[in-house]
Structure 1
Amino acid sequence: MSSTNDTRPEMGTPPDPARTASTFTELCNVVAKLRSPEGCPWDRKQTLETIKPFTLEETYELLDAIDSGDDRAIVDELGDVLLQVVLDAQIGADEQRFTILDVIQNLTEKLIRRHPHVFGDESVDDADQVKQTWDRIKSQEKKPKKESLLDGLPKDLPGLARAARLQEKAAKVGYDFPHRDMLFEKLDEELDELHEELFENGETPEVKISLDVEPHPDQEILDEERRQRAEGELGDVLFVLANIARRWKLNPEEAIRKTNTKFQRRFQAIERGLKADNREIASASLAEMEEYYQKEKARERQAAKP
């Protein structure tokens, strides 16, 4: 997707003011019409609460579009995210709580206030100092004062992302492993504790990875107290993994999202391969499915080579 202007503008160039005003006003007018008595029944009945799931869904669809590298898809999904903002603001206006202008003005003032090295007379040496300045100003803005350093994180933040943010906040006051490599010993410790709860004798059976073994049925832990302990230990393992991601400056939520997408893509390659061979997946053996999986894996790696 290309711009209407063939010349690439200098980085940081704002859009044309006249066109921006008219285009954004038109969007606001459309959303207001949808919420009007003559508008759409679905849009009219929405509240800030009912619209929340759609906001989250559109955000993840935007992430998928960014991963695809398809500019048209990115533009489309960015539009859907923007719609959530404008619609939320229109709902706020209809309820006489706030307007889109309040949202924009508040955001503009916040960006200026939290970037004194750009709009003020402070100076910074690198991105880390920018983050420290942002956090310092943000903490001064929050009223009333937090009772805990860990307060303020959204309750609906995905679990791995929330874990990493909690650890980041604790690390700011020194509550962190002195060396990040120590986390792997901690991971082994947590895995051992998980094994103790998953297996009644506390010993992990040595079952080698093989495609020739008869399928072993999964069994639920019937003892509720033991099940709760196992779930807690599994949470500890995931918490350490999120901490490892943080210390290596990786995004754990993005990592699992990409792995989910990768698995889906490779499993669908199994389905396509079997279909091309006029086979039903239900009739294929594990070894046959794995062969298609590995072919797709090899194809992806070859395609990724420079």
Structure 2
Amino acid sequence: MVRHAIALIAAVMLTAMDAAPTVPPPILSLLGDAETAQSFDYYGLKAAGADLNGLSAAVEARLRPELGSRCITQAEQAVLAGLKTAADAPDAAAWTADRDDAGQALARWRALRESVWSGDEAPLPYEAVGEQVAALSAVREPRKRALLERAALDQFMRASWVEAGDVWLGPLSEGGRTRVNRTFGGEGCRVDADNAAWLERELATHGWYRRSIYGEDGDAAAWLIVQHADRDRAFQQRVLALLEPLIADGETDPSNYAYLHDRVAVNGGRPQRYGTQGGCTAPGQWTPHPMEDPAGVDARRRQMGLAPLDAERPRLNARCARFAG
């Protein structure tokens, strides 16, 4: 391994003098080898004089066209995290400590997931997920049970992204937090993609999780998975068309249809209809993405069972309390 690392460093240095941001063949090999990418000494590249920020930019530029439609792989994730943290670390000892601390934090996180799924009490910020998992024992219908378990995993991942670092991961350096957050993002994307692929197969065989058969929670869980399937916009569009005629029959929640309608529009670069999609633009300030006929948005929201947009703003603004730009 040491000999391989030295050879790799030398090869990178030979190609790092290019003016254009290209990915050297040795780094390309790491992008396809998760085990080596995770154990590689990226700080050794920095110590040898390599421009890690330039290498990172080249890797990101190479991957960018693909990552709109697929998730980052574990190898790609490890390379980008390794380059970023090594570039920022003041010395080799700090970089190694960051890597080890992040590894221990992620091991605790994975153990916690197993604990919650085995029925142990879920700590902050996972109490709601723990309740979802506990409720699975009362669900006898296999198709619904599988759906609800996937929806619980969706929520476990999102609770991890938003709050876990402040609650139970413990103090982490900036480099350690970078590694943890990249892992959360990559694994969360893969959960979303797997959930969407599973649900697409289910819908092709059995149709929608109608409220009259699977209850409001079944309808809501299926919608949640579709709403988060942003890397498969064609699937979202197909489900939107599937849901529209079910609204009049009471077989799906019209407010969820509104959220998905807006998601599809925004993902397609079009104005949204119901004002459900937006983002933080300043600390404590949530702003909706562009809307069609903004003056009529509350009337349209009312038709779908949604509260007026101004009534929702305090809740939405609270999400942006820690926004840092």
TM-score (norm 1): 0.30
Instruction: Determine which structure has the larger helix proportion and give its number.
Output: 2
TM-score (norm 2): 0.28
Greater Cα radius of gyration, structure 1 or 2: 1
